[in-house]
Structure 1
Amino acid sequence: MDTRLFEAARTGNIDYLQQLLAENPFILNNTQLSAENPLNIAAAMGHVDFVKEIIRLKPVFAIEVNQEGFSPMHIAADNGQVEIAKELMEVDIKLCRLEGRQKMTPFHHAAIRGRAEVISLMLSGCPDCIEDETERRETALHLAVRNNRFEAIKMLVDWIREMNKEYLLNMKDEQGNTVLHLASWKKQRRVIEIFLGSGSVSTGSLEVNAINHTGITALDVILLFPSEAGDREIVEILRSAGAMRARDSVPSTVTNSQTSTDNPSTPERCWSNRDNLVEYFKFKKDRDSPSEARGTLLVIAVLVATATFQVGVGPPGGVWQDTSIPDQKNITSNNTAHFAGQSIMATTNTVGFMLFVFFNSVGFSMSLYMLYVLTSKFPLQFELQICLLAMYCTYGTALSCIVPSNLYLFVQLTTTILSSTMSALARSVRPLTRMLRKSFKDFTHRVV
């Protein structure tokens, strides 16, 4: 974009715009190749008159979405520019449904920021925009609840009930959460009161016992994660509206269209072993991001590497502090020969020490392998690999120095050959374990 045109849009100077057009009538056409257009900038700065002039000269700018996924209507909705939004809707009433990144519409942005006036304007002009869903299947009401926008929530719920569109209150996001799930999670008492009204829920309106993909209801959310004194009041409000825990609800309350065979997280399966929340906190690909899983695995790998290295260089029982070589002239209660610095366990319990070295070396080598895999393509990758190799060599050297000569070969084989092949062995065993697990599940299902 011409810097002069950018300055005119930033300041809202219409006279300067006309001067630029007089010098170059095609100056607005040249902006089509740029990342921004003057309408976006003017909308962001709130220059209503300049927006009107650009719309008159180049209305196609109103439907352009920039590289960040924002159109002029997105920007106006996000900033709460009601007059600008009104001018843009005169170009095309459906601009409030224009999708940007992750299928986010201007109406979604207005809900996220709680722009009540913009929401009212868009609903009056294009009522269908309230049904639009993001890439994560979130409606504007989901987004307003997630971001604690009370006024926007109240306006949306009032409009939904006035238009007899209460089915929108039961729409679920990609995790199966209704807005009541989110309000319970956020501990939003006033919002829950708005959803439930007088406390009695009529047939076909808000489903207080809807179950998400994790297998819990809105009441479960508040009971499983108590944190504040006000939780008791929220529980009472939910119970007065007929809310129940998933394990107490009947199958007919499940509104998810997927059957138990299609969805492994159905309530029947979840609640069979959820007394200690194990099922709830299991990793789920459709819920947990890969970056969070990788971070968790890194922490676990570091902890395992630290623990196994520590116990490897300092084995149970410690090391001998003196050297003792028994002979006929030196009869002691412990007639086993040993040297200072050698492992006490290695000389007194050879079999136990060999098992200890074996399993500890397996854990240590696998943790280093996990660190190598999880940090691949990290910055300073070569330096990190040197650190891991140095730790591996230090571990093997330390073990070799504290064992008697009769166990030296065993330790060398365990810390070198076995440890280096564990990663390949794990990859070959993994398919076998999957097959056995699947066979076991099929067998238990047939028995049940």
Structure 2
Amino acid sequence: MANLEKLFQEACKKNDVEGVKSLNSKHPNLLDEIIKACQRSEDPLLITACLPGSLEAAKEMARLWPQLASIKNQRGETTMHLLSTDGDAEMVRTFGEINRELCLEVDNSSMIRLHRAAVEGSSDVIRALVSICPESLEKLTSNGETALHLAVKKSRSDAFQALVDEAKSHRKEHLFTWKDKEGNTVLHLATLNKLKQIVEYSSGENSKRRIMIRINTVNKQGQTALQLCNANSQDSVFKEIGWVIQRAIAQQSPQLPAAGSPNSSWNQTRWPIETRNVLLMVVVTIAAAFFTVTWWDAPYPEMTKMLFMMLMVSFVINFTWFMLFHLLLFLHCNRLSRFLMGNLVYCYFI
């Protein structure tokens, strides 16, 4: 078998498709022997075939023996794992199209091919894998990590951006808010690793490539990304990242309630400025009526008193109606509806 294996390796290195076919036809039981040899080896025979310049021979092997692509070595790695690590996008695409299920096979470290590509920073491989198997974006390691988490942990900015682009194109933006087992989002991890560029992407600071996640999300230690910065405020990079996050909070606060923060519910959100303007106008109108009645030197004091009491009763009734109406409006309508209805209320009082 050693001689046959050597002959196959030589045929593959020379990209000799006819040589591969010839060996296959001469040895009917060859596949069983190859499988046994692959299981004993650190690297499957097919990965040996997948060397630069050997694409056609490797394709022929995969066509003749598709089982070889799913055979694992002692580390639980298939040919696709190793190709993803090597960054060979063309080979990855070739074998992924033969059997897309291989994209979801895990190794002994609970990693699929996309995880490996993220760790290695192989942007081209990431795009190839996601195009074949988009659901791999949502697969987790045993530590609850997505490929996005792994790219940030390994400081692979290009890989992270490739994953962001693919997640957007496949409408999987929800991945940006996922947490690992420690409760960390990609924003937490980017902050801890002092990756300012990724923080800008993650917080929406970079308007061209923003991903807009909930900035005030807390991890299992109860810390937001900004609190991580504050805990390391003597470090200049942490300080810069803190400024980025603070600006993003100021931009998001009218639009995006932060998950896990005390102000996350609508009941605790400040009223919009149009509502405060309506309230201010009501108070000013009532105050004007009060002072008009109080300082008007009317010849009929009893009539003045009665008019004042009527105004006060009217104010209490209308203000109570206003508060209840606007509370229900605020809880159940969107921002545009609140603005329009607030103005209707304003017109009612004026």
Give TM-score scaled by structure 2 length: 0.64
Q: Does 1:110 align with 2:117?
A: yes
Q: Does 1:27 align with 2:30?
A: yes
Per-residue CA distance 1:72-95 (angstroms, 9 max, x = gap): 111111111111111101211232
Corresponding position of 1:214: 221
Alignment map for 1:92-111 (pairs within 5 Å): 92-111=99-118
Classify 1:142/1:135 alpha carbon distance in 2 versus 1 (closer, same or farther; 3 Å): same
Classify 1:147/1:18 alpha carbon distance in 2 versus 1 (closer, same or farther; 3 Å): same
For the Cα contact (< 8 Å) 2:103–2:113, is it kept in 1? yes
Classify 1:110/1:178 alpha carbon distance in 2 versus 1 (closer, same or farther; 3 Å): same
Question: Counterpart of 1:151 in 2: which secondary structure?
Answer: helix
Question: Counterpart of 1:103 in 2: which secondary structure?
Answer: coil
1:45 Cα shift?
6.2
Counterpart code for 1:80: G
Across the aligned residues of Structure 1 and Structure 2, the Cα RMSD in angstroms comes to 2.7
Distance 1:44 1:109 in 2: 19
Counterpart code for 2:237: G
Classify 1:86/1:161 alpha carbon distance in 2 versus 1 (closer, same or farther; 3 Å): closer
Classify 1:163/1:45 alpha carbon distance in 2 versus 1 (closer, same or farther; 3 Å): closer
Per-residue CA distance 1:235-265 (angstroms, 9 max, x = gap): 1100111189xxxx734659xxxxxxxxxxx
For the Cα contact (< 8 Å) 1:70–1:100, is it kept in 2? yes
Corresponding position of 1:8: 8
Q: Does 1:250 align with 2:247?
A: no
Question: Counterpart of 1:102 in 2: which secondary structure?
Answer: coil
Q: Does 1:180 align with 2:180?
A: no
1:227 Cα shift?
6.0
Counterpart code for 1:160: A
Counterpart code for 2:24: L
1:195 Cα shift?
1.4
Q: 2:144 aligns with which of 137, 144, 166?
A: 137
For the Cα contact (< 8 Å) 1:5–1:20, is it kept in 2? no
1:121 Cα shift?
1.2
For the Cα contact (< 8 Å) 1:209–1:253, is it kept in 2? no
Q: Does 1:157 align with 2:164?
A: yes
How many residues of Structure 1 are paired with residues of Structure 2 in the alignment?
A: 247
For the Cα contact (< 8 Å) 2:204–2:212, is it kept in 1? no
Classify 1:111/1:253 alpha carbon distance in 2 versus 1 (closer, same or farther; 3 Å): farther
Question: Counterpart of 1:230 in 2: which secondary structure?
Answer: helix
Counterpart code for 2:63: R
1:6 Cα shift?
4.3
Corresponding position of 2:197: 190
Higher mean alpha-carbon deviation, 87-96 vs 173-182, is at 87-96
Q: 2:245 aligns with which of 225, 238, 245?
A: 238
1:47 Cα shift?
2.7
Classify 1:207/1:103 alpha carbon distance in 2 versus 1 (closer, same or farther; 3 Å): same
1:233 Cα shift?
1.6
Counterpart code for 2:66: P
**Identity fraction in percent:** 31
Alignment map for 1:116-131 (pairs within 5 Å): 116-131=123-138
Hey, which bits of structure 1, 4+ residues long, moved more than 4 A? none
Question: Counterpart of 1:68 in 2: which secondary structure?
Answer: coil
Distance 1:172 1:61 in 2: 36
1:49 Cα shift?
1.9
Distance 2:160 2:185 in 1: 14
1:198 Cα shift?
3.5
Q: Name which structure has the greater RCO, CA cutoff 8 Å, separation 6+.
A: 2
Per-residue CA distance 1:346-392 (angstroms, 9 max, x = gap): xxxxxxxxxxxxxxxxxxxxxxxxxxxxxxxxxxxxxxxxxxxxxxx
Corresponding position of 2:279: none
Classify 1:195/1:76 alpha carbon distance in 2 versus 1 (closer, same or farther; 3 Å): same
Corresponding position of 2:305: none
1:18 Cα shift?
4.4
Distance 2:121 2:234 in 1: 26
For the Cα contact (< 8 Å) 1:145–1:182, is it kept in 2? yes
Q: 2:154 aligns with which of 135, 139, 147?
A: 147
1:228 Cα shift?
3.5
1:137 Cα shift?
0.8
Classify 1:53/1:230 alpha carbon distance in 2 versus 1 (closer, same or farther; 3 Å): same
Corresponding position of 1:307: none
For the Cα contact (< 8 Å) 1:96–1:105, is it kept in 2? yes
1:61 Cα shift?
1.0
Classify 1:199/1:23 alpha carbon distance in 2 versus 1 (closer, same or farther; 3 Å): closer
